[in-house]
Structure 1
């Protein structure tokens, strides 16, 4: 068969079945990614953990919901990761968690307990907060930035700046 006689624009029935099957595997429920009840429930859990004094779990839960609502939809091919309002709500929740931690010497231990992707997501929210000083506590953000870079290394900054999946 000559390559010149191949019709590259046509899709056979077998190829169409395969394409449909692959698309059905990657379908995500779009209503789940923008459901406000998911955020509200997570925010309640985070605040409950903060009142108990469990900052480590509160930070992990806040970053988990940020990943669920903002990063995963982008990774799975959905349009955008959420509205600006949702991003700001999550950023304010993370700011509350960061502001409630008052033991500076314990910051590296808390950050080390986070997974690598959570550390990078934390840096993204720190930069988000630093870009909006009127709404966020910048001295706290700078302190967390310093400790996060100590733990994650300068590569964390590079990963944040080069990541195309911004929210």
Structure 2
């Protein structure tokens, strides 16, 4: 048998928090990344330390920022590094990366396909092939489904 109470505490529950259609954007920007340091990357390239330049560019990718200018600068610097590495060295460079860096590399490869330059598409296809051999189809799926863009 039900009791009749005068309690109205159940009315203070916010039921909208359980609604699937309520979407709240994740707070991805804890710190504002500024992207890779162009001077440091150029010094790596001038010394012939291409793999170090690639690791620096990928580890300092401005993924969490919403500033498009920072992202465009990082893209041009990354493409400069990718195009500086010779075709014979691509497999060694990709083999030295971890899984997260390969995913970021794939993001830059796909973004590079959006803005082709003279001879860049063929070189980026080589990068894509080597990155796919290491990262597999999972890397492509993670890149295409990730909301954080480079």
- Give the structure-1-normalised TM-score: 0.68
CA deviations 1:41-73 (Å, max 9, x no partner) are x1110110011111111001011121xxx22x3
Kept after mapping to 1: 8 A contact 2:35/2:71: no
Gap change, CA 1:8 and 1:165, over 3 Å in 2: same
Residue among 5, 8, 12 paired with 2:9 = 5
Q: Find the structure with the greater CA-based Rg.
A: 2
**Structure 1 residue runs of 4 or more that deviate by more than 4 Å after TM superposition:** none
> Structure 1 residue 165: deviation in Å?
1.7
Pairs aligned (count): 131
- 1:165 pairs with 2:141: no
Larger proportion of helix? 1
- The answer for the alignment partner of 2:55 in structure 1 is 60
- Root-mean-square deviation (Å): 2.6
Instruction: Output aligned runs, 1:6-155, within 5 Å.
Output: 6=10, 7-9=12-14, 28-29=30-31, 32-33=32-33, 38-39=34-35, 42-66=37-61, 70-71=62-63, 73=64, 81-102=65-86, 104-134=87-117, 137-155=120-138
Gap change, CA 1:148 and 1:27, over 3 Å in 2: closer
